[in-house]
Each structure stands twice: as structure tokens, then as C-alpha cells.
Structure 1
Amino acid sequence: MAYAAPPETVTFHGLLFDMDGTIIDSTSAVVKHWHTIGNEIGVDPEVILQTSHGRRSIDILKLLAPEKATVEYVRQMESQLPKKYGSEAIEIPGARALLDQLITANAPWAIVTSGSEPLVHGWLEVLKLPHPGHLVTAESVENGKPDPTCYKLGWSRLGLPADAEVLVLEDSPAGIKAGKAAGCKVIGLVTSHTMEQVVAAEPDWVVEDLRSVKMVACGEDGRVTLQFSNALIAKVQ
């Protein structure tokens, strides 16, 4: 299969972005971070890394080191990640341009992430990326992705009605499933998982990264019209 679908234009009332793998790529930093933490808490770092992407640190710790599974420990631990490994993270291609378009048009958008608040703000500061007006983090919900609560909360914080068309931008299968379960349309990015893994999670569109997503209009009512180009296929069935 090739990323060669013709351009498609779709209109939404609001956009909900995942963070890591969607706006930034901090994979190498996270690998180093979990190796350090794993050695500190006596858990094989490779075991942690097998299940960590797209999931909250507290959920991983509940399984592998329950005594460390507290909000306070996670916030302190994750606050150090951008400070220690700031040079390891890069932005996902197309992310900055899309966010700048949305901000200029005053379009409704939010970040919905499995990371903690200190982690999110730390990375946005390091990479000089815009901070969202609305943010849902690991601390915001009882259960992480693939539970849809985080995306339902993001939807609510944008002040959108129940019949709104909302787009989730995600890279992890757990996040894609959460977005779909929350009633959103989902575009899956092949940035952290294989094409096959992303397709298996059943997003509505699949693209390589955010260079394939451009804002082409924003109405006075806040509705955002996007163009998806070079998708894997027009729609994933």
C-alpha cells in the first residue's frame, strides 16, 4: 500500500491532539528515561518499554511496581524527563505548521495526553511549541487510554455539543481506540507504530505524519476545514 490517496476535505467543530508521537517525538528520550527508572525501581527497562507507548506511566507502574504508582511520584519522575533529555526530542513533521494555523484562526483545539502536566509543559517549553488553551493529562482521568474518558473530557472542555464533529489526531493503537470509543473521527499517524498496527486499530484515515494535514478554512462559527493528502487510503474500513 502507498500513501497516495487523493486529497480529501473534511470539516470539524474541534480538534483533539495526542502529544507524544503526534506533536513531538521523544522516543529516544523516553527509552533513556525508562532505562534509568527501571534500574532505580528494579524492573527490567525492556519489559517497561514493551508496553509503555501511549499509556500513562502510573498504569505501567501499577502493573510492574505498584508501590511507585502514585500521582506524586509520576509527576516528579516525568518532570525530569525534558530537563535531562531535552535535546533528544524533535517535533513531528507538520505539527508546528498545523498548530500555528489553528491558533491564527482561533480554532478550537486541545491536547489530550497520557503524560503528566509537568511532562507536557516541559516538552512544549523545550521545543518552543504553543501551549494549548485546553489540556487533558494523566492526572485528569481515573483510567488512561484506551479508555475513552480522556477524549470525552477534551471534547467537553472545548465546549462542543454532543452532536459535534470532533477529530482526534493519534499515533498509538490505544489512543486511536480511545478516540473512536469517544465518538470522534480519528486520523492515525504512522510515527511510532507500524502501518499494520495503526490500521488494525481502525482509524478513519491513516497518514505518515502531520504534513498531510492542513487547515484550509475556519468559519466564524469556529468550524475548521482540513485537507488530508497522501493518506494510505481514503478511508480505513
Structure 2
Amino acid sequence: MEYSAPPEDVTFSGLLFDMDGTIIDSTSAVVKHWHTVGNEIGVDPEVILQTSHGRRSIDMLKVLCPEKANWEYVKHMEGLLPKFHGQDAVEIPGARALLDSLIAARAPWAIVTSGTEPLVTGWLEVLSLPHPEHLVTAESVANGKPDPACYELGREKLGLPPTEEKDKVLVLEDSPAGIRSGKAAGCRVLAVVTSHTVEQVAAAEPDWIVQDLRSVKMVECAPGRGVTLRISDGLVRKA
């Protein structure tokens, strides 16, 4: 498998970004934080880390530590992560440039994440990244990824007309759970290989696979004509 697909221009009505692993990489921070939290609540941190990426903390705690599976605890706990470990997070290459171009063109986009609002806003502040006009967080839906509810809500927040075809919305993701969530919502999905192996990402069946967001550039954005992206250096999957 090679990242050598020729450039492809595709037009969408709106874009829905996952956060961790797609816009930022906070892996080191998350590992440190879950070791602290796991030791505090009496759950093996390694067990937490094996199941945490791409999933809501509250869903994981319902299984591993039910007494802590409440929004008050989860929002407080996640809100501490950027404060204590902000220096351990970095941008995914190409993320800032893509977001800046979308904002400059007034293109419709939103962040749809399994993190809570304190976690997301904390990271955006620490890294001085742009805040979206529309945000879907862990608290926004009853069921987390891979359930499609979060991306369905994200699409609604973009204000797209009911007649708009769902596959005109692009989901940008990194985790298999998130990829499956976007696909289940009827959207097209571009996956970055930043947090999982290419084999794990491919198994979730996204429409495109790239190494990071340097492969995604905005070409044009015009009222009534959508957002045209150029997707370059995609993974070529050999038969």
C-alpha cells in the first residue's frame, strides 16, 4: 500500500472534524492523564488506554468504573487534562492551514468529538486553534461513536437543508469508531493515519485514507456551490 493516489477534487456542502487525532495529537497527554486518573479510581490505566481512543470517557467508565460514570465527574476530569498536560499536545500537520482556509472562505464546518466541552475548549485555547461556530461534544448526544448520532447532529448544526444529500458532507476522522460513526450517518469519510495502524483504519472502510491533513487543501468555496477540496497522496489499496 502506497500514499500515491493522484489529486482528486471533490465538492461538499460542509465538513465535520473529529478533534483528537484529527486536529490535534494529545496522545502523550492522554496517557499521562489516564495513568493519574486510573490510579485514583482504582482501574488499571493500561486497560483504560486500550479502549479509550475515539470513545467517550463516560461510556468507558460505565463499564470500568460505574460510580464515576456521571457528567459532573467526567467534565471536571477532562477539563484538567489541557491544564496539566498542555505542553504534551501538538497539531496534526496541515490542520491549522485547512481550518484557517475554511474560516477565511466562510465555509460551513464543525467539530464533532467524543470529548467534553471543557476538554475541547481547553485544547483549542492551549494551542491557539480557531474555535468553531458549531460544536458537538460528548454531552450533546445519548450515544457516543460508533453510533451515528453525533455526526447526524453535526450535520443539523451546519444548517444544511433536509433535501441535501448526506454524502455531500465530509467527516474527517482518525479512529475506527469515528469512521464507522461517520459512515453510519451516511456521510463520506476521510481518515488520517495518526493514531491507529493503516490496517485498522482501512478495516473501518473510509472513502479516503491519507497520512495527515497536509493532503487536504481547499480549492474553492462559493455560495450555493459548496466547498471544493483537493485530496492528494491518498492511500492506494491494491487488490
Normalised TM-score (structure 1): 0.98
**1:116 aligned onto 2:119:** no
1:174 — aligned with what? 177
**1:212 aligned onto 2:215:** yes
C-alpha distance in structure 1 between counterparts of 2:219 and 2:238, whole Å = 23
| Alpha carbons 1:202, 1:236 under 8 Å: kept | no
| Alpha carbons 1:199, 1:236 under 8 Å: kept | no
Gaps of 5+ in 1: none
AA matched with 2:78: E
Three-state SS of the structure 2 residue aligned to 1:119 is helix
| Alpha carbons 1:107, 1:222 under 8 Å: kept | no
Matches within 5 A, 1:130-145: 130-145=130-145
C-alpha distance in structure 1 between counterparts of 2:230 and 2:41, whole Å = 46
Q: Which runs of 4+ in 1 moved over 6 A?
A: none
C-alpha distance in structure 1 between counterparts of 2:161 and 2:152, whole Å = 11
C-alpha distance in structure 2 between counterparts of 1:118 and 1:213, whole Å = 28
Deviation at 1:221, TM superposition (A): 2.1
C-alpha distance in structure 1 between counterparts of 2:119 and 2:54, whole Å = 14
| Alpha carbons 1:114, 1:137 under 8 Å: kept | yes
Gaps of 5+ in 2: none
Cα deviation 1:19-54 (Å, max 9, x = unaligned): 000000000000000000000000000000000000
Report percent identity of matched pairs: 75
Deviation at 1:161, TM superposition (A): 2.4
Deviation at 1:236, TM superposition (A): 9.6
2:157 — aligned with what? 157
2:234 — aligned with what? 231
AA matched with 2:89: A
Deviation at 1:194, TM superposition (A): 0.2
Three-state SS of the structure 2 residue aligned to 1:125 is helix
2:28 — aligned with what? 28
Deviation at 1:220, TM superposition (A): 1.9
AA matched with 1:196: E
**1:43 aligned onto 2:43:** yes
Deviation at 1:125, TM superposition (A): 0.2
| Alpha carbons 1:16, 1:110 under 8 Å: kept | yes
Total equivalences in the alignment: 236
C-alpha distance in structure 2 between counterparts of 1:76 and 1:236, whole Å = 46
C-alpha distance in structure 2 between counterparts of 1:105 and 1:71, whole Å = 36
**1:74–1:236 CA distance, 2 compared to 1 (3 A):** farther
C-alpha distance in structure 1 between counterparts of 2:178 and 2:148, whole Å = 8
Two-structure CA RMSD over aligned residues (Å) = 1.2
Q: Which region of structure 1 is more displaced relative to structure 2, 216-225 or 183-192?
A: 216-225
1:88 — aligned with what? 88
**1:89–1:204 CA distance, 2 compared to 1 (3 A):** same
C-alpha distance in structure 1 between counterparts of 2:103 and 2:119, whole Å = 22
